[in-house]
Structures are given as C-alpha cells and as structure tokens.
Amino acid sequence: MRIGLLARVHLGTMAVLSVLTLSACVLVAGLPKAAQTSYDEALRRALGTAPAVTADLTVTTTSRGAEQDLRERGQFDIRDRRWRQILPAALRPLIQPAGTGTSHMSAKTTLTPLTGTGGWTYLNLGWLSDADRRVTWVEGRAPAAPSTMRYEGATVPVFEGGLSREALRKMGMRVGETKMIGEHDHAAVKIVGAFEAKDPSDRYWSHNSDVLHVIETLPPGATDTEKHLTALISDAGLGELSGEGRNLTYRWVLPVEPAAATALAAPELRTAVGEFGRAVLLQSTAASGSYSLESGLTELLGDFLAALSAAQTVMSLVLGGLLAVALGVIVLTVRLLGDRMDRTLSLARARGGSLRQVAGTAAALTAIATAPAAVAGYALSYLVPGPLLPVVHAGPLVVVVVAVGVCAARTALTHRRPLPERRDDVVAARPGARRITLEALVVVLALAGAYLLRARGLTTSGEQDPFLLVVPVALTVAAALVTLRCYPYPLRLFVRLAARGRAAVAFLGLTGAARTRSGSVLPVLVLLPALAVSVFAAVVADGIAGTQRLASWQQVGAPIRITSETEIPADAVERIRRAPGVERVVLAQTGQVQVGYGGERAEAIAVDVAGWRDILDGAPVVLPPLSDGALVSPELRGRGTFEIGWQSRVKLATRGVVEAVPGFFTKGKFLVVPLDIQLRPAVNTLLVKGDAALADLAAIVPSATVESQERALAAIRDDPLTSAVRWTLTVVTAALSAYALAAVVLSLVIGAAERARTVSFLRTLGLSDRQAQRLTVLEILPMIVVTALAGLGLGLALPAALGPGVDLSAYAGDLPVGDYSLDLFLPTALAAGLTAAAVLGAYAHTVVSRRRGLGAVLRVGDLT
C-alpha cells in the first residue's frame, strides 16, 4: 500500500496526532527534570541555611590525661588527614577541602569555673586552628606563650588569653586583668586583648558561638542563669593545655559543600554519614581515646527526605494522571485516524491484503505521525535544566509504543475478516455476569483501599508508600466504571418522558445519548481522570495557599511585629506611631515569669488583648477576649487562681486555655495577661497594623528585630520545594484542561460522520437548522455533563481520601494541610468550560453539516 499517499490524504489528522504527541513528550520528559532541579535546590538551601554546626561533620574526642593530650598543631593535622581518608565514597564530593569553608580544628575546655563564683560563671580556654584568619584584635594584643605564678603556695600556669569585646562588656572585665580558674586544679588567665570577628555572619561561628558570645543557661529548678565564656589562647598555650584535671575536648570540623548535594543522592548520603560515624569509632584506641562523630546531617537529611517524599507523592499522582490523560487523548486521535482509513483498509483487505499488511500500514502511518514528534519533544526537554532521569528517556518511547501498538491492535481486530458486517447504530450488547462481577470487585476494592488509607496512614516514614499510588488509580477506574454503567439509565427515564411529548427532537437526541456504544467509552476514560486530577491539583494548591497564609500569621502574630531584647524607649514608640503607613501600635512586654514560689517558670506576654484582637481582624488566627486574669497554655490549665512573680507578685485567675499564642508561643508553659498588671510596663514588643516600610521602622529602633506577615508568607512560598509543588500543580492543571478540551473536540469529530448522516436523513423529513443544533447538543451534552460531574466529585474527594497519607506541612510553614475548604470556583469553572466547549462544538458541527449538500452524505438507495 502507498503509505505516502495515505499520509497526504489524512494529513490533518496526522498533524493533530503529531502535535498531541509533541506536547505529551515535552511534558512527560520536561516536568520531572524541572521538579528534580527544584528538589536539588531545596536540599542545597536546607544545607546552606542550616547552622554549620548542624550540617557539618565534626569528629570529637575527649582527653582523659597527659597520654591523650595533643600538644601541637601537627598532631591535629595528621588526624584531619585520617578522617578525610576514611570518608565513604558517597560523602567525599560533599566535603570541602581542608582550610576552606568552615574547616578547622579546635581544643576547648568546658565547665571551667571562675574561681570564687560558686559555679555560676565559667571561663573556658579555647584554641582555634585558624583564629588568625577569623578575628581582628581591636584592643591589646594577641595571646602569646603562657607563664607561671605562685598561687596559694603552689606554682600554677598563667595562660594568656583574649576575650571578645562583647564578653568583656557583659562580664565587666577589662584587658590586663588576671582571672583565676578552677576550684581544685587552679590556673590563671591573663586577659591580654579583645577581639571582634572579621565576619560575624560567617557560618563558621555557629561552631564557636561560645568564643564570640556569653552563653547563658538556666539549670533545671534554678532561678539564676549560668554564664559561660571562652578565652582564645595561642599555639604555645595549646602546648600547656592538658586534660589532666580539666574537661578538654578536641574537634575536627569537616565542612559540607551544599552546592555538591543532589536530592537523588540524599538517601545514600544519610547512609554514608552512619558509615562514617562507625569508621570514626573504629579509630579509637586506649592511647588516643574514644572518637565519635557529632553532626545533625542525618536528621537534616531525614527531614528533607520526609518533605521530599510528600512532594514526590503529589508529583507522582498528578504527573501520572497527566501521562494517562495524554495517552488517552492520543489513543482517541489514533482511533480517529483509524476510522478515516477504515474504507481504504477494508478495500485492501478485500482485495487480498493480509492482516499483517493492513495492520502494518496503519501502524506505519501512526509511527510517521508520532515518532518524529516524540523525538522533537525529547529534544525540547533538554532545554529544561535538570538531571536526566529514566523517565526522560522512557516517557517519549512509551508514548510512541502505546500509539503504534493501539493502532496496530485495533486495526487487526477490526479487519481480522475481509469486509465484515459491522453496524454502529445499534445498542451495545449487555455485559455478561463475569464482567459485571469484575467491575463490581474493582469498585469495592477501590473504596476499601481508600478506607484503609485513611485508617492506617502510611506504612513507612520518609519513603513513598506504593499503596498511596494505587488507591487514586483504583478510585479513578472505579468512578469511570460507575459512570459508564450508570449514566444511560437516568437518560432512559428522560427518553420515556420525551416520548410522551409531541416534539421529536428531544426524543431522538436523548435516545442517541442513552446508547452505550463503544465510542462513548474512550471520551469518558479521558475526561474523567483529566477533570479529577486537575480538580485535585487545584484543591491541593488552594489548601496549601490557605495554610501558608495561616502559618505566616502564626509566625508573626500581627501585620508587623517589632521585638527587642531591651526596653523600647517611649520616644521611639511615638516615632513609630507617627511613621508613614502605621495605623495602630499595640504595646506588649514579653519575658519569663516565676509561677508560684518554687522553681517553675513560664513564658509570658503582657499585652492589650483588645487592641491585639483589633489588628488581627480578618486574619486566620484569633485570640480569646481578656480583660483580667490570664489565658494559659494546656500545661498550666486547672490551677484556678495562681500567683506569678514578674515585676511584682500578682495573683491571676484563669480565664481560658489557648493552644498557642500567634507569633510567640506554640508549646510549653506560657500565659497571656493584660498589660496593666505591670506597675510600669517595660515594653519590648510592638504589634503594628499598617503597611509601613520595614526598613524605616528598623531605623527607628536599631536594636530591634522587625518582622512582617507578608515577608513571612513570601519566605514560605519561596522555598524551592514549595515553589516546585505549586508550579507543577498549576502547569498540570492547565495541561489537563487543554487535554480535556481536546478530548471533547475529538469525541465530537469521531462521531461527526454518523451524526451528519443522521441529521441529513432528518433534514429530508423537514428538520430545520435550529432543530438540528438542538438534536446534536442533546446527543453530546449528557455524556459530557455526567462525566464532568463525576470527575468534579472525584477530584474534590481525592484530597480527603488521601489526606492522612500525604503530609504537605513542609510546604505550608510546618502546619498540616488538612482543611481543604470547598472553594468550588476553579473546579466548577473547569467543568463548566468543558460543557461549554461541548455545546459550542455541537453548534459548530451543525453549521459545518448544514453547508454540505445531501448528496455528499447520502448515497443512492439510502432513502429507499
């Protein structure tokens, strides 16, 4: 057979098939790459924004005596090279070279008491291998070699040390002083200089925050805080530092390079961290002491993989649905091409053509239309940055194989006998008992699967649950089967009602719609999942957006919040009130209070609750009214009237229990009290209503931190994983809507010849053009409407059915996304748009048919 001639004759249909194949291959190959790129960016951001002490690998050991002491830098270097040699292969690309990033070595004492302070102040000694690159001496000089002195009849070492300027100011010390440390094994620290960090914002300092700052801790049951500060010593001082009588810890920091991490390698990285920890432990000997690995990288990767699993689950659902719908539309087009070639192939079969030749010709014509388009789509997917996943290569191949295979199988089945007698105008045979039983079993299993998913949740943590991917497919198939089996029955009722009337158009149109022919199956199987997945994507995206807004309000607690560690001056408050864009300012004081007379503590906020409620008007967070007494956390409930110590002793009656206080407290012991319980409120927090410039407010109170709800919302939305999920849901919704529209148009075109013939028959009996339009609409519209309603219902039900198995909190400020409010605007618009497209298509079809002469449709003898 002349395939070239057939291609020219059916050029329009082949062009449509090529366009659909091209779009499907671009989407199926490009979207996973874009999603994987977002996953990689999310992991790199997580590693880059986490404190270095959490993300880096730190090998530690504690010296228990002189035999385990490290006295010189060379001993540290030897061990640093050893740690890098035993790194697992998966970790080596992720670790930065020695001397770069946050890489360094240190020796520090801990819990070294300042003599005479009763154990409430600790002055530790610290050596950093790269201190000369990290600090600038702003007063005095850098430490030199230690000396000795006599103290209480004994000779003790005198370490020269330097403190940060902040520590000197907070502790009331000065350069030139000598402090004694220890309670039994004494030593002296001569403060010879003060320093500042060259770059205080460098992640390096998260490993050594005790060197820059005074660390204050509150021991359990205590009312006063302990103060810990660390003095830098020189290399010579390291030679005199011993674990004999002191808590001395050595550390080697192996920094992680975020840019080298990939999401695909994250599971392997988490395993490699565990392997490295075991390898480090095996290096322990009696002479060297016990080595261990300290790092939060395992937990960080675990949290990322849990968030990634939810993202991949959602992506798998929507991308799998997109691929299924795209294949369905392509199969519809292949069927249209087969119908157009039916007469030619039947004639070739009748003239002696073998079944292999006939089926091969149809398959070759389909391959000509799909293979080049698939290659072009595969090539275009390389414009999307991202790793080459297996689906990138396999997706276009699957599209071509399905299209060619369906065409060959359908042609072989249709033309298995030369010139078979086929009639398309009769009602399909009733399904047998076996088929009905099988379909009922599918429906029951789908419902049971949805119930079990809600009842048990996921079976694994941080990994995709195959059960979660099977249930949506089963529910979609079940909904399609129910729709196909049930939609003719209510139509037959309308047919009976129409038969009682005198108008024939309604009867004929509804009768045609009620016929359960095989031609109605494919459009339903395409439209239903297309609408279901697109509605599901729209509902999930809306649920994420709403929860993100709620999370931003819970994080900030007001349109703008200004917080300071110290009291905000009254004149600054007045300047903020007069600042452009400020509508209202509510004063508040936060702090820690004593509950009762023991050591129990609670976080508290004293605030004008009525004013706060006013600026929260319209926000998704609420606060109960309070005029006196206190609102308490669940941990403080049931106490009735209790007493707190803040500026003074105050008795408070419990007026309510709140699970959280927006912007301040989410767990633990806390309470909200009126601001007027304070004799003189020391305002350190301002809640601002308005749209003032944050930079202007920060300039008024330089020591304060200024946050806004809009900025918090933007930070949540700008997360790479969150952006990837929302962007993919939007693209898939648009693509599925386009495919659903294409399915409607194709279903109209597939039945166009038969409808044109029917209308032409009726026109010979006096059918008018308006009646022909009504007839066509009545025949097409019921199937579209019923399928649209079924898809709409399934799409709205899927989030509720899958809710326990899909944790989207990582994309909504760590709040669970469970409130899928029924905002029916977009889902209804999708269903209404498809229905409108069907009506317009029906009218367009009647316009085209009206232009045809009866002789172009009816053959001689058709009217006899």
Distances (CA, A) of 313 to 384, 461, 802, 807: 22, 13, 11, 10
Q: State residue 592 phi and psi, 5-degree precision.
A: -105, 135
For the chain, which residues make up each domain, given as ranges? 1-55+298-422, 57-294, 428-555+712-864, 565-703
165 or 313, which is more confident:
165
Answer yes or no: is pLDDT of 486 > 50. yes
Residue type (1 letter), 272: A
Confidence of residue 188 (pLDDT cuts 50, 70, 90): very high
399 falls in which pLDDT band (50, 70, 90)?
very high
Over the stretch 603-612, which tens digit does the pLDDT of each residue have? 999 999 999 9
What pLDDT, on a 0 to 100 scale, did the predictor assign at position 863?
Answer: 46
State residue 461's pLDDT score: 47
Residue 694 vs residue 223, higher pLDDT: 694
| Per-residue confidence (pLDDT) for residue 458, from 0 to 100 | 54
Question: Which residue, among 142, 140, 180, has the nearest Cα to 161 in the 3D structure?
Answer: 142
Residue 573, token pair as written in the block:
């408050």
All residues at 6 or more sequence positions from 539 whose CB lies less than 8 Å from its CB, including other chains: 795, 796, 798, 799, 820, 823, 827
In angstroms, the CA 709 to CA 713 distance is 6
Contact 491, 783 (CB under 8 A): no
Once rounded to an integer, what is the mean pLDDT over residues 399-410? 92
Q: What is the pLDDT of residue 716?
A: 84
**In which band, very low, low, confident or very high, does the pLDDT at 520 lie, cut at 50, 70 and 90?**
low
pLDDT tens-digit profile of 223-268?
Answer: 677 899 999 999 999 988 988 888 999 999 999 999 999 999 999 9
- pLDDT, position 841: 67
Confidence of residue 183 (pLDDT cuts 50, 70, 90): confident
CB 64 within 8 A of CB 289: yes
DSSP secondary structure letters along 126-165: EEETTHHHHEEEEEE------EEEEETTEEEEEEEEEEEH
pLDDT band for 420, please (50, 70, 90 cuts). Answer: low
- In this prediction, residues 28-57 reach a mean pLDDT of 90
- The yes-or-no verdict on residue 178 having pLDDT over 90 is yes
Work out the mean pLDDT of the chain and round it to a whole number: 83
Q: Which amino acid is at 2?
A: R
Report, as an integer, the average pLDDT of 105-124.
90
Phi, psi of 861 (to 5 degrees): 95, -10
Q: Which residue has the higher pLDDT, 215 or 800?
A: 215
544-585 pLDDT, tens per residue?
A: 888 888 889 999 999 999 998 888 998 999 999 999 999 999
- In this prediction the pTM is 0.77
To which residue do tokens 């319980």 refer? 677
pLDDT at residue 274 is higher than 70: yes
User: Residue 293: in which H helix or E strand, if any?
Assistant: strand 291-294
Strand 154-164 with 147-151, pairing: antiparallel
Calculate helix-pair angle for 769-802, 504-514, nearest 10 degrees.
40
Lowest mean pLDDT among 135-139, 292-296, 334-338, 671-675: 334-338
Q: What angle do CA 290, 296, 300 make, to 5 degrees?
A: 150
Give the mean pLDDT of 582-604.
Answer: 89
- Give the phi and the psi of residue 858 in degrees, each rounded to 5: -90, 145
Buried-exposed string 741-768: b where 16+ CB fall within 10 A, e elsewhere: bbbbbbbbbbbbeebbbbbbebbeeebe
Residue 308 to residues 62, 316, 390, 801: CA-CA distances in angstroms?
37, 12, 18, 21
- The mean per-residue pLDDT over the stretch 375-393 comes to 89
More confidently predicted of 314 and 51: 51
| Residues of the chain by 3-state class (helix, strand, coil), percent to 5 | 55, 15, 25
Residue 864 pLDDT: 44
Better pLDDT: 323 or 123: 123
In the chain, pLDDT over 90 holds for what percent of residues?
36
pLDDT for residue 516: 52
Give the percent of the chain with pLDDT over 70.
Answer: 86
pLDDT at 460 over 50: no
**CA–CA gap between residue 635 and residue 629 (Å, rounded):** 17
pLDDT at 419 > cutoff 70: no
- Cα separation, 404 vs 396, in Å, equals 12
Q: Which two tokens stand for residue 619?
A: 């926000």
pLDDT at site 421: 52
Neighbours of 483 (CB within 10 A): 20
Distance in angstroms (rounded) separating the CA atoms of residues 842 and 195: 82
Helix (H, G, I), strand (E, B) or coil at 426: coil
- Compute the CA torsion angle 741, 746, 751, 756 (nearest 10 deg): 80
Look at residue 443 in the predicted model and tell me its pLDDT. 84
C-alpha distances in angstroms, 676 versus 253, 633, 748? Answer: 51, 20, 73
At 140 the pLDDT is 92
592 touches 604 (CB < 8 A): yes
Express each pLDDT in 723-762 by its tens digit.
777 788 788 888 887 887 787 777 777 766 666 677 666 7
Average pLDDT over residues 478-483: 82
Residue 843 has pLDDT above 70, yes or no: no
Distance CA 540, CA 730 (A): 10
Q: Distance between CA atoms of 450 and 460, rounded to whole angstroms?
A: 17
Instruction: Please report the pLDDT score of residue 474 as a whole number.
Output: 80
**What is the model's pLDDT at position 184?**
80
What's the pLDDT at 521? Answer: 61
